[in-house]
Amino acid sequence: MPFNDTAVRELVERVCAGEVRSLARAISLVENDTPEAQAVLSACFPFTGHALRIGVTGAPGAGKSTLVDRLARSWRESGRKVGIVAVDPTSPFTGGAILGDRIRMQERLGPNQIDDGLYVRSMATRGSLGGLARTTADVALVIEASGKDIVLIETVGVGQDEIDIVRLADITLVVLVPGMGDDVQSLKAGIMEIADIFVINKADREGADRVEKEIRALQSLAQTHESRIPPVVRTIGTSGAGVPELLGVVDQTRQWLAAEGRLEVRRRQYWRARMEDMVRLALLKEARAHGLSPEDFAHHAELVATKQEDPYHLVPELVAEVFRARLAASTPRMKE
């Protein structure tokens, strides 16, 4: 059934009222980039901006999911409503995150329990036109509009994808573990820059001191202009040890960021990058509609691959043609 504007408005009203099935439906509309996606997001937008958005990233196998579950449970106990977006683009063969969604949701709740104040969504979409970071941000926005106080965005891995994804967070936790062979030095450069808090999880393992030393050494090299050095917290996700301390550090960090006006600065920076991305996508859609369909691209690529055309000359011509074609399409009546 296609949605009209009224249907979208009613759906988003139910989302904002905390109705879980409507939330799942709204997310699907956004995630699948349906024609209704923009209307859903527009309707949700005014109801966002109040939640604290927390990014959790770090090396695979660092125990991020267990830690995120612990954090979510603690916040639930203090009455906060929590949303979780778990992004896992790494498991194409097993169905990965999509399959894991329900299993994890169940584990978080326990059997025969329903908690309307907790919503978990797993995502494994790869290769969509707008990219995973865009989709994650839009899904997080819809979840936030459903009245959550805290939205956790959890990623697998520490690559550029993950950095792009957690850019929407107000506070980012980078989770490391001792002795993974995965040295701190081998982490992507950007990770050091986005970390507000370092978490050494599985801290009962040998090598926790060494990891902390490496973090400190990189920090001193980084010579950041920040007046605050990101704290390092040790946790054991499986037992919950260190989680209360971590909650405290998250809260202090939030207060510090707010007092310094940095939350606002970050959100402004985020929207600036995000809107540039949205503009880029919108322009590409215009190009596809005006002379650069996938078939057109295939044709031109054929000419370039066989050396009949030089791409460095061809591309500017194609772009000029997009502008001409769109102009012709938008002003047919003036010429009649």
- The H or E element spanning position 151 is strand 150-155
Of residues 220-249, those binding its own copies (CB under 8 A)? 221-222
Q: Binding marks (x or -) toward its own copies, 172..201, rule CB under 8 A? A: -------xxxxx--xxxx------------
Q: Which stretch binds its own copies (CB under 8 A): 3-11, 168-176, 229-237, 302-310?
A: 302-310
Nearest to 246 by CA among 237, 259, 238, 258: 237
Q: Which is nearer to its own copies, 74 or 90 (CB)?
A: 90
Give the one residue of 12, 41, 85, 86 binding its own copies; rule: CB under 8 A: 41
Of residues 70-129, those binding its own copies (CB under 8 A)? 89-94, 126
Q: Binding marks (x or -) toward its own copies, 136..175, rule CB under 8 A? A: ---------------------xxxxx--------------
Q: Does the protein bind its own copies through residue 297 (CB under 8 A)?
A: yes
Give the one residue of 4, 32, 46, 251 binding its own copies; rule: CB under 8 A: 46
Q: Which is nearer to its own copies, 115 or 309 (CB)?
A: 309
Give the one residue of 3, 16, 20, 45 binding its own copies; rule: CB under 8 A: 45
Query: What minimum distance in Å lies between the beta carbon of 290 and its own copies?
Result: 10
Q: How far is CA 311 from CA 295, 315, 316, 317, 319, in A?
A: 17, 6, 9, 10, 12
Cα 129–130–134 angle (5° rounding)?
Answer: 150
Q: Partners of 157 in the beta sheet?
A: 58
Query: What minimum distance in Å lies between the beta carbon of 113 and its own copies?
Result: 31
Q: Which is nearer to its own copies, 17 or 303 (CB)?
A: 303
Question: Which residue shows structure tokens 């504007």?
Answer: 5
Q: End-to-end CA distance of the chain, in Å?
A: 39
Cα 35–37–38 angle (5° rounding)?
Answer: 95
Query: What minimum distance in Å lies between the beta carbon of 24 and its own copies?
Result: 20
Rounded to whole angstroms, the Cα distance separating 296 from 246 reads: 53
Q: Does the protein bind its own copies through residue 318 (CB under 8 A)?
A: yes
3-state DSSP percent of the chain in helix, strand and coil, to 5: 55, 10, 30
Query: What minimum distance in Å lies between the beta carbon of 169 and its own copies?
Result: 15
Q: How far is CA 141 from CA 200, 224, 245, 307, 332, in A?
A: 29, 30, 28, 46, 39
